[in-house]
């Protein structure tokens, strides 16, 4: 694996088709490597990118800066078209107003739901919060949960914040890291999941809780995670430790049917997966007599982005960075 990485120098993207070139990438991953992408795309007369958003692009400042970068990229790569996969209808509308091609197609729909399951394990924790220990995650709002599991690492520059959080939450079981394949087991031991940031992206973990059959305690936020919450499986609360703790207690006293929670989010996921299949089909096969053949290939876990790739995935679904 290391040898293939060194030889290929893969760009952070996932290719669905090479003729025409159709691929997916995250916003910042593309923007940071824009010159490498431009070099890689030179040999393709036409390229289509579906861009996922790692952070909200809905507020005026965020949308302005983002739109300027995307327009600059399109000016440099004339053969490239970009469709932004927004995480809420409002975000899509804002980006359309900035002149970008944007559709509501939620990031969390592309988790592989087979990786998650309703677990039958003894409950050990009233709530779980899976979140890097960094200020925007607002861990202090979980400070009055009676029995909390916290999963997340931190960088050296975040050490002060992390030490404050870890020392101030009285009933805390802390796990710096749990392998992604095993995360379902600790979720199964928890009564509900916490989503406490006020601004970020769509928060994959929020859907992972639900795919494991756990309801959610959620604060008001920008980023789109709410779009995938079944109404009966979320308690929206004010920004206070007391409100969070009260909602956690309520879920533990009267939890929803875990299988209904899982099926409800999968139903939402299917809508967005089908939407992307139609977009991919139009990009790859074109439109004939007003109809589009949907893409029938694999939609990998997280669209193959920001997760470990096998050597075969790098060989058959990658672009090579030729700038050294």
Tens of pLDDT, residue by residue over 231-244, are 999 999 999 999 99
With beta carbons less than 8 A apart as the criterion, state whether 162 and 137 touch. no
Q: Give mean pLDDT, residues 174-202.
A: 96
Give φ, ψ of 90 to 5 degrees: -65, -40
Question: Which tokens hold the place of 182?
Answer: 């095993």
Confidence check: pLDDT of 169 > 90: no
- CA distance linking residue 243 with residue 251, whole number of Å: 12
Question: Which tokens hold the place of 224?
Answer: 């789109």
pLDDT tens column, 247-260:
999 999 999 999 99
- CA distance linking residue 111 with residue 50, whole number of Å: 16
Whole-number average pLDDT of the chain: 94
CATH code assigned to 113-256: 3.40.50.2000
Q: What percent of the chain has pLDDT over 90?
A: 88
Q: Give mean pLDDT, residues 127-142.
A: 97
Give φ, ψ of 15 to 5 degrees: -95, 125
Among 251, 257, 130, smallest CA distance to 194 is for 130
- CA distance linking residue 185 with residue 62, whole number of Å: 37
Structure-model confidence comparison of residues 324 and 297, the more confident one: 297
- CA distance linking residue 109 with residue 273, whole number of Å: 6
Q: Give mean pLDDT, residues 106-121.
A: 95
With beta carbons less than 8 A apart as the criterion, state whether 124 and 104 touch. no
Please report, for the chain, the start and end positions of each structural domain, with discontinuous segments joined by +.
2-110+269-317, 113-256
Look at residue 324 in the predicted model and tell me its pLDDT.
Answer: 56
pLDDT tens column, 292-312:
999 999 999 999 998 877 777
């Amino acid at each position: 694996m290391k040898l293939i990485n060194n030889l290929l120098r893969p760009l952070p993207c996932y290719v669905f088709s090479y003729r025409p070139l159709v691929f997916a990438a995250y916003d910042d991953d593309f923007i940071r490597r824009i010159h490498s992408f431009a070099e890689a795309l030179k040999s393709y007369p036409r390229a289509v990118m579906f861009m996922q958003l790692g952070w909200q692009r809905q507020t005026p400042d965020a949308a302005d800066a983002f739109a300027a970068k995307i327009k600059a990229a399109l000016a440099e790569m004339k053969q490239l078209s970009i469709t932004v996969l927004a995480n809420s209808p409002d975000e899509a509308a804002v980006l359309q107003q900035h002149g970008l091609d944007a559709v509501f197609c939620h990031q969390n729909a592309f988790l592989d739901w087979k990786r998650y399951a309703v677990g039958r394990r003894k409950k050990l924790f009233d709530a779980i919060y899976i979140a890097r220990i960094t200020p925007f995650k607002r861990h202090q709002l979980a400070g009055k949960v009676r029995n909390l599991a916290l999963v997340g690492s931190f960088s050296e520059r975040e050490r002060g914040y992390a030490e404050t959080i870890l020392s101030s939450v009285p009933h805390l079981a802390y796990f710096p890291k749990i392998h992604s394949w095993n995360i379902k087991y600790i979720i199964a031991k928890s009564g509900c999941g916490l989503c406490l940031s006020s601004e970020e992206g769509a928060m994959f973990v929020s859907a992972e809780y639900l795919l494991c059959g756990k309801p959610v305690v959620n604060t008001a936020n920008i980023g789109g995670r709410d779009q995938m919450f079944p109404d009966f499986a979320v308690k929206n609360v004010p920004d206070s430790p007391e409100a969070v703790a009260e909602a956690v207690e309520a879920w533990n006293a009267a939890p929803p049917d875990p299988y209904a929670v899982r099926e409800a989010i999968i139903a939402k996921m299917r809508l967005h997966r089908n939407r992307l299949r139609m977009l991919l089909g139009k990009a790859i096969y074109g439109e004939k007599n007003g109809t589009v053949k949907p893409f029938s290939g694999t939609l990998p876990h997280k669209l193959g982005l920001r997760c470990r790739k096998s050597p075969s995935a790098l060989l058959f679904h990658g672009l090579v960075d030729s700038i050294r």
